[in-house]
Homo-oligomer: A and B are copies of this chain.
């Protein structure tokens, strides 16, 4: 018997986070715990408001989930297939179930989750550190604070892209990932920006143009001197099928992919199609970050910094040391004593 519990939680960020489309300083989470016999697995949904999920929608969705028809903790495919068909959307809360189920299966098998998928182990991976949109002085400060990271991810797509880049480059030689968050609306302007960014030491550009501008993105892909990576439009397995029309690579985020089960399928298909894979995240605790680490062997580029710069991460798991996530090979997703954190959260 699988027994699902949850707690709502609000994750607070040290600094206001600004991108081309808005700003926020906290993120609503739903933390889950699923018990099977004497094993508990932990999961998480991170739900920035613009994606449409909320504490309310997640609780409503969970109330419909009835795993009493399932008895095999390794039949995650079957359970997630059932969960996915309850209702459309709700990808973050679905992911919170998937992750808890993988945590259970890993603990029962005595294996870290990547081994459940027969994936190779990765000792450590360098993550980028995201610098959100801000004044030049604050951007310089944040860049200097991120010295230990091999890569920075710079948010552009607003009115002052050049000013931001100049601020970053005035204090750092770090190679840069750029996220335009759909901010550029004109394809020729986007191409010109990318040519300029290449000279600034940029590795790739994420979501340069709005998802809906498909013809323009296809044109941009064919001309771009840097890889362009799809994010906002790349959510589920079916999206990967079309991705290479518009992008050289794509983002895999557990809260969009509905978790590891489909996330692994997406990454495999992407590789088969010759697409680069970026691992992405939201603001989230060490639960989602640790789960995402198990996809490391697919990753060309890693942006798993969502647990850094938050002030109330309740969990300990895969740790980031000197800008690298370090494998801990703990069975399951890799949390350390999550039961203690869970009990504390209950207050």
Contact = CB atoms under 8 A, between A and B. Distances in A.
Interface of A: 120-122, 126, 147-148, 150, 169, 172-175, 198-201, 203, 225-227, 271-274, 297, 300, 322-324
Given A120-B273, A173-B199, A175-B201, 10 more contacts: A120-B271, A122-B274, A126-B226, A148-B225, A150-B203, A172-B201, A173-B173, A174-B201, A175-B175, A225-B324
Contacts of A200: 173
Contact of A147 (B121, B199, B273): B199
A120 B274 contact: yes
A150 B225 contact: yes
19 contacts: A120-B271, A120-B273, A126-B227, A147-B199, A148-B225, A150-B198, A150-B203, A172-B201, A173-B173, A173-B200, A173-B201, A174-B201, A175-B175, A175-B201, A201-B201, A225-B322, A225-B323, A225-B324, A300-B300
A231 B203 CA distance: 23
Indicate how many identical chains form the complex.
2
A272 B120 contact: yes
Contacts of A201: 172-175, 201
B274 A121 contact: yes
Contacts of A226: 126, 150
A254 to B, nearest CB: 20
A198 B150 CA distance: 6
